[in-house]
């Protein structure tokens, strides 16, 4: 009886191991399919090009903001100087 239960446990454990190995391979296969379809979708919709364009636009906007800040600073200095000339430095 003890030998029979041991054989049954071995059979059950080997089936479980077989199912686990199958499950791991199925998961790996599905992950590979996911990666391939992801690459195809990104290529088809040109997502990499869109991201690159957005990064370039962000850089240009930052540069434009720097120029605007500089122009504002220069304009304030100019207004202050013309005010000092017209009214006087203490008023």
The set of residues, in sequence order, having a beta carbon less than 8 Å from that of 48 and lying 6+ positions away, is 42
Average pLDDT score, the chain: 88
Distance CA 54, CA 60 (A): 10
Question: Is 6's pLDDT higher than 60?
Answer: no
Q: What global pTM score does this model have?
A: 0.58
CA 55 from chain centre, in angstroms, equals: 12
With a pLDDT cut of 90, the percent of the chain lying above it is 67
């Amino acid at each position: 009886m003890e030998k029979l239960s041991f054989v049954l446990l071995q059979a059950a454990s080997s089936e479980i191991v077989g199912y686990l190995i199958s499950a791991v391979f199925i998961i790996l296969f599905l992950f590979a399919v996911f990666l391939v379809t992801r690459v195809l979708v990104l290529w088809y919709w040109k997502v990499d090009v869109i991201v690159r364009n957005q990064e370039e636009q962000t850089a240009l906007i930052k540069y434009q903001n720097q120029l605007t800040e500089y122009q504002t600073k220069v304009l304030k200095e100019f207004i202050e100087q013309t005010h000092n000339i017209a009214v006087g430095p203490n008023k």
